[in-house]
Amino acid sequence: MDALTLLLNRRSLPKLMEPAPQGEVLDNIFRAGLRAPDHAGLTPWRFIVSKGEGLNKLADILVEAAKADGADEATLEKASKAPFRAPMVITVVAKVTENDKVPVIEQHLSAGCATQAMQMAAVAQGFSGFWRTGKWAYHPVVRESLGVQGDDMIVGFLYLGTSGCREAKVHERDLSQFVEYL
Ligand X SMILES: Cc1cc2nc3c(=O)[nH]c(=O)nc-3n(C[C@H](O)[C@H](O)[C@H](O)COP(=O)(O)O)c2cc1C
Q: Is 136 marked as binding a ligand?
A: no
Of residues 2 through 31, those in contact with ligand X by CB under 6 A are 11-12
**Residue among 27 and 77 whose Cβ is closer to ligand X:** 77
| Nearest distance in Å: CB 131, ligand X | 4
Q: Is 166 marked as binding a ligand?
A: no
**Residue among 40 and 105 whose Cβ is closer to ligand X:** 105
Among 34, 85, 108, 131, binds ligand X (CB under 6 A): 131
**Surface-to-core class of residue 80, CB atoms within 10 Å of its CB (0-12 exposed, 13-18 middle, 19+ buried):** middle
Sole window of 75-83, 84-92, 98-106, 127-135 interacting with ligand X (rule: CB under 6 A): 127-135
**Residue among 127 and 130 whose Cβ is closer to ligand X:** 130
Q: Cβ neighbours of residue 137 under 8 Å, at least 6 residues apart?
A: 154, 155, 156, 157
Between CA 125 and CA 135, with CA 130 as vertex, the angle to 5 degrees is 150
State how far the Cα of 68 lies from the Cα of 70, in Å rounded to an integer: 5
Between CA 41 and CA 48, with CA 22 as vertex, the angle to 5 degrees is 45
Q: Is 39 marked as binding a ligand?
A: yes
State how far the Cα of 153 lies from the Cα of 97, in Å rounded to an integer: 12
Binding residues for FMN: 10-12, 35, 39, 131-133
Binding site for ligand X (CB under 6 A): 11-12, 130-134, 156
